[in-house]
Structure 1
Amino acid sequence: MKFSEQWLRSWANPQLESEALAHLLTMAGLEVEEADPAAPAFTHVIVAEVLTVTRHENADRLNVCTVNVGEAEPIQIVCGAPNVAPGIRVPCARVGAVLPGDFKIKQAKVRGVESNGMLCSAKELGVSEESSGLLVLPADAPVGVALREYLNLDDTLLTLKLTPNRADCLSIRGIAREVAALTGVAQTPVEITPVAPAIDDAISIKLEAGSACPRYAGRIVRNINRQAATPDWMKRRLERSGIRSISAVVDITNYVMLELGQPMHAFDANKLQGGILVRFAREGEKLTLLNGKELDLATDMLVITDGTRPVALAGIMGGANSEIDDASTDIFLESAFFAPADIAGKARRLGFSSDASHRFERGVDFGNVRPALERATQLLVDVCGGQVGPIVEQVAELPARKPVALRVSRVAKVLGLTLPGDEVLSLLRRLGLSAELAGDVITVTPPSFRFDLEIEEDLIEEVARVYGYDNIPTRPAASRIAMLPQPGNARDKFSLKRILVAAGYQESINYSFVEEKWERELAGNTAPVKLINPIASQMSVMRSSLLGGLVNALQYNLNRKAERVRLFEVGRVFHGVTAQVQPEKIGGLAWGTRDPEQWAAAKATVDFFDIKADVEALIAPRVAEFRRASHPALHPGRSAEIVLDGIVVGWLGELHPQWTQAYELGQSPVVFELDAAALLSVNPVRAKAVSRVQAVRRDLALVVDESQSLAALQSAFAAAKQPLVTAIELFDIYRGKGVPEGKKSLAFKVLMQDTLKTLTDEEVDATVTALIAAAQACGATLRA
């Protein structure tokens, strides 16, 4: 909602500067998104009258003008505007004036002729983006008066960013009501004088849409002057509200909409073939709107008809078949209430919006239908003349305004603010609410202009707004605040994020709505949870894996020439339709080189084992087992499932070459996904004495089948439970001479240590023998 501050102050004028007024509205929930001057700064520009115009003797496109500036003698100005003519009144910048852009007006000679100022266009003054010549002012503009004063240019244009529940503030009257309630100033609304009918002509009205249109009023106005010009004051207020002036009749309906919040429409009465009938559209009906769009009407669309055909799409836009044109002399003025539920979403479905639909789908004051019609009639007669017929109105069952009970004690509990009942009652009444106090309970009957007041919490919010959020004191908590104990065997998901960030990953946040193809190809999910009303066709299902979003983010980075990408995400995935399962996952992706480009290391592509180390860091200090496994999105020979305490908690591997090619990734990224819940439990950290004696190292070279996994040997070593062993690490894999075909040699470093004494050879040999026996149980032999 954009409007002129001066217009608002004509209704409610608090003793506040513009900035303070904007802050007041914002703190009351009516956010002022912009506050711009109506015109840029300029000085010494006055209203002047052109007396004579003669051709410049040295220039074909210049004229020498004598100009009346309200002084004893006229001045001479050289002007090149094409529309300069004797008798017109235009802005004149005197010598010494400063125009927008710091353009200074000086006394000068133009092609040898003295010029004592400049006649200005609207563009030169910054009041319009385009101009074809001088800004021609009305013939009665007072000569010598400052232009800023005459055009009220010292004005501020305020733009409110309203929430959908505050449709009552989509008008000057609604905003003035708020300002009056917040500041206590009196309102000075316009006086609406009913226009007495001069003729008996009327059009019948019939309602067949039930609660969708319970109130409709209209009247005939004949013999209007279609050539009448919109008054400058009205045109100025419309333009400062972002609405272009079209014609007097259209401008008046738009003006009443901005002033009172009631959208209106004017039909050419001579194009209507019968009485007004409000109903839902029928199968096969069509309508061409004023914007030229031809519609195939759906049966849930509310239409205004003339008994035989639709002539307007109710609450949205009029039809071209009843449009007012230059030949129109008789009009039918409409003012109605349409239920928000029956208007909401229709304009968006049709691919456009209108000021009327913006208001009706949020809720228009159904008690304002007749006053708005009288106001529009009054303005129409004043501007265009004509003979007015009687108002014809049909009223069905209007929306019920059910009383809402507000407990004063509840206000104190929610706001932390103790207010007496009388003061709460006064705050509510300042908003124009009908309220009565009985004991601890205030009963409020919401007015017709407040559709958002339905429950007690709505009224508590109103009390807080009017009292002022700034005025609610900040008090220390009454209860003792203490840190909760943190168990040593638990951590939060932010700890997991910090581990990955430390490893060079960046967090990616993606939609939970994904493309169905991703689920099928990357998650092997042929029955994803489908959305009934997706926000976009490519976001039609709920994700069951984080992989699709990560691959999409990788594509986005590659399209912008990223050379090395590390991404992770923590988020929920969704399984099942009838029984919703929504576990939280942590997933990651690495693409490109192992290390950032540098002089000290050769380029190497990131591989499975690099990311396996990152995953192990996430799981540490617990130890996971990595088992070869298949996954629909991963390379069959370079993927594994991750097992923790005997339970599969995730997977890890290279993206399958098929999908690498399909998604144009260049090289296969390494990806992983784990259950976040499984990583939040860790083994408690226990202190252990540092040994003062040196560790003993023994190396074991074991020959095993090529198919033998390292994890199986590591499990066997762990099962041997040798108390002296502090570490067993693989440091070499050998295939070749001395090792039979189909076999491989695995060399392990075994470290043994006691914290109290130096180990003897017998103790070391016994430990090594036990480890060899454990390995032999897995089919390994000691390499000769």
Structure 2
Amino acid sequence: MLFPESWLRSFVNPSISTDELSHTLTMAGLEIEGTAPVAPPFSGIVVAHIMAVRPHPNADKLRICTVDDGSGEPLQIVCGAPNAAEGLKVPLARIGAVLPGDFKISKARMRGEDSFGMLCSARELGLSQDHGGLLELDANAKIGQDIRSALDLNDTIFEIKLTPNRADCLSILGVAREVRALTGASLTEPVCAPVAVTHQDVLPVTVDAPDLCGRFAGRIIRGVNARAATPDWMKSRLERAGQRSVSALVDISNYVMLELGRPSHVFDLTRINGGLTVRWAKEGESLTLLNDQTVQLAPDVGVIAAGETIESLAGIMGGAATAVSLDTTDIYLEAAFWFPDAIAGRARRYKFSSEASHRFERGVDFQNVVEHIEYISSLILEICGGQAGPVSDQTIALPPRPAVSMRLARCRKVLGVNVTEEQVRDVFTKLNFQFTEQDGVFSVIPPSFRFDLEIEEDLIEEVARIYGFENIPSIPPKTSATMLSTNETRRSQHQLRHLMAALDYQEVVNFSFVQKDWESNYMGNSDPIVLLNPIASQLEVMRSGLIGGLIANIQYNQKRQQSRVRVFELGRIFVRDSAVTDGDLSVAGVRQPLHLAGAAWGPAEPEQWGLPVRQTDFFDVKNDIERLCSQQLQHLRFEPVSHPALHPGRSASILLNGELIGFVGELHPQWVQDNELVHAPVVFEMDVAALQKMRFAHYTEVAKQPAVFRDLAIWAPVTVKLQDLLDTLENNQQDGQFLDIIKDIALFDVWKDPQSAQQERSLALRFTLQDPVATLEDTRVDQCMNAVLELLVQKHGVRKR
């Protein structure tokens, strides 16, 4: 919000400088983002009166002006402005004057004629970009007066940044109240005396929506002159506050909104048929607004209607049908209190914002509605004339103002400052709060314009603001350096992130709400949790898996010419579960487990001279999962699985200690095509709770005996899984004869004879054999290998190759 310092100081004028005032407001929570002078620096420019104008004898576009600058002797000025005319009062830069940009004025000779100064336009003074002619001053301006004084240019524009809860400071009066509390300076409020009532005409108004409008007031004013000129002082204040002048009636309404924080609306009375009705809109109704936008209304939008005709959006913007014009003579002036919840979000729904909705959705003073109507009426009668009727005021349902209690002990504890009862009383008195005190507990009734005072902490904040944040000492906390025990069987989420980073994955953070088709395509979830108010139309459901976001990350990077992407995300998913109840960190019916998901796409290794380019495949990612689960590796298994997101035959479920914890596989060709990916990424997703469990480390002595390596090639039916063979050998290792010396088994070759019709394949296994206490002899090694072959033949029907 912008406002000129002079406007604020007309309410409260503390004896501090502009910079000190800015700092004081900022330290009280009303951040002043910046200050700027109304006009750039210049000097030597005065109000001058053009006494006579004659053509230049040697130039068609130049004229010679005789100017009175108040010095007692007329000056000759050569001027090319088209609007230079006898009788005008304009700015004159005397000889020696300095214009913006350090441009100095001296005596000049222009086409044979002397010029003793320069008449100035608004652009030359840095006041605007208007360079169409001389800046015309008010006819009552004093000749010879310094132009900075005449136009009040020694002023500063404040730009204030308010937090959403401080709606009371969206006005000059609201900021002035804060300055009074902070500095102790006296506050002079505008006089809101009732105007003379000269007729008894009233407009009937019916409020059918007490949850929309809590108070509605208005009056009829007849015989106004809508063509009256807005006074220069009002126009100047509006322009310096960022508002353009429209017409006198509109300017007055905007002026009071900025000054007192009271949005109002002026109807053209002749365009209203019958009375007004305040109600909720009906389905299918529409309205053309003052900004010429036509909006389709919904039942949760408040309107003011005349019969079946919608006149305006309640608390947001008026309609074009009843807008005042320069031909308006009879008006209806309206001011009301609209409940913030009934206004919030409605303007944004129609993709615009208004000054009125910005205030009403945060809360506007509901106590002084009539007084403010009287103030607006007095300005209208003073500027536009007319005859005012009586004020019609309806109070329907004002918001309750329950007392808010603050314990002095609690205030001291939160602030860390031993404030006294007298200091707290002084703060509340400066803020003009009504309060009582008993046994160290202050009970405050919030003013009608303060909607941000609801809980104890709000009052503590007020004490801190007025006491002064800079007066609260910075005391570092003290605590004992106690060593905490570490759970060696559980690793943290941060450790998992570090492990994934070590595996060459980069972390991403995606939205928890996703497209509905992601859920059906990738997770096979036909009943996802739907959002009531999504931030975007396509992000309408909560995710039950993480891989959809990772696939979108890969697609995004591919479009930006990235050839290799390896990403992971650790985040929550959301699935329906009727067993879940409400709690501090839970919502009834929704289970929210943490999952870890990763996706690898592109070459398995960054491009280099030493390795050929090879696309990442299933086994690369499977190896990453095994390394991630190295603490649980002896219990980790992969089983073929059918998953809607994964390629049939290139996917597997991940089991840990016999429990399903996730899945891994290549993305289904259909989704590869739909996402326009040049290669299929390999994705995985696992439950974090299972990954956090670790085996306690057990250390064994390193065997001093050498290991023996033996290879065994067998023909096995294609229906036999390698894991089945390994399970058989592991299960018989302790009980089976001679198998106790097997330390490791590795598959190093798989081959199938393309000419053979047999449904079998060759598996080549390498065995690592070792006895920790004795050197292995060939007899014992042969006995072990024969036992291995016999066991596999017996259990799985294999044959030696």
- What is the letter of the counterpart of residue 417 of structure 1? V
Distance in 2 between the 1:364 and 1:184 partners? 25
Q: Say whether residues 1:745 and 2:762 are aligned partners.
A: yes
2:632 match: secondary structure:
coil
Quote the residue 1:37 is aligned against: 36
Distance in 2 between the 1:358 and 1:413 partners? 36
Describe how 1:607-618 pairs up with structure 2 within 5 A.
607-618=617-628
1:556 match: secondary structure:
helix
Q: Say whether residues 1:679 and 2:678 are aligned partners.
A: no
Deviations 1:92-111 (A, max 9, x none): 56677776677777777767
Q: Say whether residues 1:706 and 2:723 are aligned partners.
A: no
Deviations 1:413-468 (A, max 9, x none): 33333323332232223222111101122111111112232232332332233333
1:326 match: secondary structure:
coil
- What is the letter of the counterpart of residue 35 of structure 1? G
- What is the letter of the counterpart of residue 473 of structure 1? P
Once structures 1 and 2 are overlaid, which stretch shifts more, 490-499 or 465-474? 465-474
Query: Are the aligned partners of 1:50 and 1:65 in contact in 2 as well (CA < 8 Å)?
Result: no
Quote the residue 1:633 is aligned against: 645
Query: Are the aligned partners of 1:40 and 1:100 in contact in 2 as well (CA < 8 Å)?
Result: no
Distance in 1 between the 2:726 and 2:110 partners? 97
Distance in 1 between the 2:663 and 2:394 partners? 68
Mark the CA change 1:728 to 1:322 in structure 2 (over 3 Å): closer, same or farther: same
1:711 match: secondary structure:
helix
Query: Are the aligned partners of 2:655 and 2:661 in contact in 1 as well (CA < 8 Å)?
Result: yes
Quote the residue 1:587 is aligned against: 597
Mark the CA change 1:575 to 1:104 in structure 2 (over 3 Å): closer, same or farther: farther
Quote the residue 1:240 is aligned against: 240
CA offset at residue 637 of structure 1?
A: 1.6
Q: Say whether residues 1:545 and 2:562 are aligned partners.
A: no
Describe how 1:719-730 pairs up with structure 2 within 5 A.
719=731, 720=733, 725-730=742-747
Query: Are the aligned partners of 1:702 and 1:780 in contact in 2 as well (CA < 8 Å)?
Result: no
Distance in 2 between the 1:713 and 1:16 partners? 89
CA offset at residue 391 of structure 1?
A: 2.5
Describe how 1:412-491 pairs up with structure 2 within 5 A.
412-477=412-477, 480-491=480-491
Distance in 1 between the 2:573 and 2:350 partners? 34
Query: Are the aligned partners of 1:217 and 1:334 in contact in 2 as well (CA < 8 Å)?
Result: yes
Distance in 1 between the 2:769 and 2:156 partners? 82
Mark the CA change 1:740 to 1:259 in structure 2 (over 3 Å): closer, same or farther: same
Query: Are the aligned partners of 1:654 and 1:670 in contact in 2 as well (CA < 8 Å)?
Result: yes
Deviations 1:318-352 (A, max 9, x none): 23332211112232222221222332333233343
Distance in 2 between the 1:111 and 1:592 partners? 77
Distance in 1 between the 2:24 and 2:609 partners? 60
2:463 match: secondary structure:
helix
Distance in 1 between the 2:699 and 2:111 partners? 96
Describe how 1:144-223 pairs up with structure 2 within 5 A.
144-223=144-223
Query: Are the aligned partners of 2:789 and 2:800 in contact in 1 as well (CA < 8 Å)?
Result: no
Once structures 1 and 2 are overlaid, which stretch shifts more, 496-505 or 43-52? 43-52
Once structures 1 and 2 are overlaid, which stretch shifts more, 465-474 or 75-84? 75-84
1:587 match: secondary structure:
strand
Query: Are the aligned partners of 1:529 and 1:577 in contact in 2 as well (CA < 8 Å)?
Result: no
Quote the residue 1:224 is aligned against: 224
- What is the letter of the counterpart of residue 679 of structure 2? Q
Mark the CA change 1:695 to 1:199 in structure 2 (over 3 Å): closer, same or farther: same
Distance in 2 between the 1:39 and 1:686 partners? 77
- What is the letter of the counterpart of residue 635 of structure 1? H
1:243 match: secondary structure:
coil
Once structures 1 and 2 are overlaid, which stretch shifts more, 317-326 or 269-278? 269-278
Aligned residues: 783
Q: 745, 748, 753: which is aligned to 1:731? A: 748
Q: 655, 670, 677: which is aligned to 1:665? A: 677
- What is the letter of the counterpart of residue 441 of structure 2? V
CA offset at residue 122 of structure 1?
A: 3.7
Mark the CA change 1:691 to 1:133 in structure 2 (over 3 Å): closer, same or farther: farther
Quote the residue 1:571 is aligned against: 571
Quote the residue 2:632 is aligned against: 622
Query: Are the aligned partners of 1:588 and 1:672 in contact in 2 as well (CA < 8 Å)?
Result: yes
Query: Are the aligned partners of 1:157 and 1:240 in contact in 2 as well (CA < 8 Å)?
Result: yes
Distance in 1 between the 2:124 and 2:389 partners? 46
Query: Are the aligned partners of 2:49 and 2:143 in contact in 1 as well (CA < 8 Å)?
Result: no
Q: 608, 612, 616: which is aligned to 1:598? A: 608
Q: Say whether residues 1:533 and 2:528 are aligned partners.
A: no
- What is the letter of the counterpart of residue 733 of structure 1? V
Query: Are the aligned partners of 2:14 and 2:183 in contact in 1 as well (CA < 8 Å)?
Result: yes
Distance in 1 between the 2:103 and 2:768 partners? 85
CA offset at residue 760 of structure 1?
A: 5.0
CA offset at residue 312 of structure 1?
A: 2.9
Query: Are the aligned partners of 1:225 and 1:384 in contact in 2 as well (CA < 8 Å)?
Result: yes
Mark the CA change 1:505 to 1:286 in structure 2 (over 3 Å): closer, same or farther: closer
Distance in 2 between the 1:464 and 1:764 partners? 83
Mark the CA change 1:670 to 1:379 in structure 2 (over 3 Å): closer, same or farther: same
Describe how 1:60-79 pairs up with structure 2 within 5 A.
61=61, 71=71, 79=79
Query: Are the aligned partners of 1:78 and 1:113 in contact in 2 as well (CA < 8 Å)?
Result: yes
Quote the residue 2:668 is aligned against: 656
Distance in 1 between the 2:2 and 2:797 partners? 82
Quote the residue 2:583 is aligned against: none
Distance in 1 between the 2:548 and 2:310 partners? 48
Once structures 1 and 2 are overlaid, which stretch shifts more, 269-278 or 366-375? 269-278
Quote the residue 1:46 is aligned against: 45
Mark the CA change 1:225 to 1:593 in structure 2 (over 3 Å): closer, same or farther: same
Distance in 2 between the 1:110 and 1:733 partners? 101
Mark the CA change 1:595 to 1:67 in structure 2 (over 3 Å): closer, same or farther: farther
1:226 match: secondary structure:
coil
Distance in 1 between the 2:703 and 2:102 partners? 81
Deviations 1:141-166 (A, max 9, x none): 44555544444445443344433332
TM-score using structure 2 length: 0.88
- What is the letter of the counterpart of residue 589 of structure 1? A
Query: Are the aligned partners of 2:227 and 2:327 in contact in 1 as well (CA < 8 Å)?
Result: no
Distance in 2 between the 1:502 and 1:113 partners? 84
